[in-house]
Amino acid sequence: MATHHVRVLMTAGDQAELVTPMHPASAPLRVPAERIARQAGLPANELPGREFTVTHLGADDADGFHLVNDPRL
Instruction: Measure the CA–CA gap between 7 and 41, rounded to whole angstroms.
Output: 16
Instruction: Measure the CA–CA gap between 21 and 4, rounded to whole angstroms.
Output: 7
Task: At 37, give phi and psi (nearest 5°).
Answer: -60, -45
Q: Tens digit of pLDDT per residue, the chain (73 long)?
A: 679 999 999 999 999 999 999 999 999 999 999 999 999 999 999 999 999 999 999 999 999 999 998 766 6
> How is the beta sheet containing 66-67 ordered, strand by strand?
29-32, 15-19, 4-12, 51-54, 66-67
- pLDDT at position 72 is 66
Residues in the chain: 73
Instruction: Measure the CA–CA gap between 36 and 47, rounded to whole angstroms.
Output: 8
- pLDDT at position 13 is 93
